[in-house]
Amino acid sequence: MKRILILSLLVTLVSISSGAQEKMPVIGLSATYETGECNVPNTYILAVQRAGGIPVILPVTDNPQVIQRMIESIDGLILTGGEDIDPLKWFGEEPVPAMGGIVPVRDFFDIHLVRAAVARGIPVLGICRGEQVINVAFGGTLYQDIPSQAKSKNPVKHRQSAPREYGTHSISIKKDSRLYEILGADVAGSGKLRVNSYHHQAVKDVAPGFVVSAYAKDGIVEAIEMKNDPHVIGVQFHPEGLISAGDDTFLPLFLNLVKASR
């Protein structure tokens, strides 16, 4: 009888362990707030589901306690694209004439959200504005407007006039980077990939503790990653837009996030 009970217990423990390995982690998606409504484009939701995660929209708030509870309730975080970041408030620069619209409450929300996530040690993927938020949250600065501030001999159009699922310019990925490792065979050889682009702000001074892992031809930063945490990554382009159209080149970014979030 004792042997049967012990065997039954072992089977139960193995089943629980297997279930834990296969669990679908909850991935929080920071909402936009430009219209006063909390929204997340469906492309992000579909990309998380494709990668095996459970997407949950995190509504914008300026209540630090609520933000902390949000972070305690999720396994991974995606900072989505959207509005410009207030330069005077968050990195001490006066606004330039070409700067776009800002939403102060969302700036507060996203910046405190990512700081809390990193402090708790959960994986973070920043996309477009999300990459910029990561950089600013940890002491970096931005080009408020690329065309008027970032002069280059080889300028690239970063706000494309093409469908969201279509890549219009290339990026070069550093071969010693975590991003290169994640994307694997898709960047082997040339280290270049084609991406879509919908922004006019970008990383200028990289935050302490971070490194650049990808550039555009004009020198604009296209990806950053945290030195001491391989699961905190920001990209300037929109991989979810490409994935939604059947281009899985960047699906490994979401697969990596979901795997790390387990």
Catalytic residues: 128, 238, 240
Question: Distances from the Cα of 137 to the Cαs of 134, 154, 173, 206, 233, in angstroms?
Answer: 5, 30, 23, 11, 13
Q: Give, in order, the Cα–Cα distances in Å from 147 to each of 151, 156, 203, 213, 257.
A: 7, 9, 14, 22, 32
The span from the CA of 224 to the CA of 212, in Å, is: 4
Q: What are phi and psi of 124, to 5 degrees?
A: -135, 135
Residue 14 CB neighbour total at 10 angstroms: 10
Q: Which residues pair with 102 in a beta bridge?
A: 84
Q: What are 192's strand-pairing partners?
A: 172
H helices within the chain, ranges in order? Answer: 2-21, 42-50, 64-72, 87-91, 104-120, 129-137, 146-149, 178-183, 239-243, 251-261
Q: Which residues contact 113 (CB under 8 A, 6 or more apart)?
A: 30, 58, 67, 70, 71, 77, 79
Cβ–Cβ under 8 Å, residues 76 and 260: yes
